[in-house]
Amino acid sequence: MPRLNGRVALVTGGGRGIGRAICLKLASEGASVVVNDLDEEPAIEVVREIETEGGSAIAYPGSVTEPHFGENLVAFALDAYGDLHIIVNNAGYTDDSVIHKMSDQQFDAMYDVHVKAPFRILRAAGGYFREAAQREAEHGSVIYRKVVNISSVAALGGNPGQVNYAAAKAAITGMTRTLAKEWGRYNVNVNCVAFGYIETRLTEAVDDKKSIAVGGRDIRVGIPRKQAEVFAAMVPLGRAGTPEDAANGVFLFCIPESDYISGQVVTVGGGLSI
């Protein structure tokens, strides 16, 4: 039997790469999924994939960094499905530079997408989680809800050229542990997955420079092929992770077997830690 039947999941950055794999994994296990992505078409395409396999999903495109996005996204999920059980704060990207060349804009952008956006989404969900826990207690039932925040090994051990990204991803671990203590009384498990070297469009091995458009800016993506080979060789399991590997790590914190696990940061990196 699917592990997440009757559950409603909200995944940010769900249109591509790791986010897409998370959406497909949760849907394959029975969850109804709200798929957010910065761009509309990738989000809609993931919804189509889920529906083709007999699952239920709905797209909500837009930037998680918009001031009222968090409350609007949570309201949309509740309007669409009438409940909310799982939130995966996955949206994000990198904008690398050594510190003496890094602008305030670069630093602030990482804070906005990796820290403030999850904060706003979780703040918006907090009221519903409290009300749901009280309502369920009155009926003598307990339903555990799940928050999975996404961090990185860069936050745990640092990474040259990523002072902005590493600092933001370290902040999300503090948010995770704090909310685990605040929300335990509401039967909410709050955990964090720190990814190692996972192959996505942001980290793919490239011979030529590539970029993506974010907020009107061109952000360089990809890793020079020789550097990517070095990174892969550092992984004890001998390879970079796939988006599916990453999604499996998130899934572990969404299933009933994690109902007594909260406030944890687990590295999904093939043995690579710091």
What tens-digit pLDDT sequence spans the chain (274 residues)?
899 999 999 999 999 999 999 999 999 999 999 999 999 999 999 999 999 999 999 999 999 999 999 999 999 999 999 999 999 999 999 999 999 999 999 999 999 999 999 999 999 999 999 999 999 999 999 999 999 999 999 999 998 999 999 999 999 999 999 999 999 999 999 999 999 999 987 777 777 767 778 877 878 777 777 777 888 888 999 999 999 999 999 999 999 999 999 999 999 999 987 6
Q: Which of 93, 165, 186, 197 is catalytic?
A: 165
Q: At what angle do helices 117-138 and 163-183 cross, to 10 degrees?
A: 10
Beta-sheet pairing, 57-59 with 265-268: unpaired
Q: Measuring CA to CA, which residue among 23, 36, 26, 35 is closest to residue 6? A: 26
d(CA 247, CA 125) in angstroms, rounded, equals 22
d(CA 197, CA 188) in angstroms, rounded, equals 29
Q: Which residue has the tokens 């406030």?
A: 263
Contact 93/214 with Cβ under 8 angstroms? yes
Query: Can you give the pLDDT at residue 273?
Result: 72
The tokens of 247 are what?
């999604």
User: Could you give the domains of the chain?
Assistant: 8-198+242-268 (3.40.50.720)
* 165 is a catalytic site residue: yes
Q: Which residue has the tokens 């999300």?
A: 172
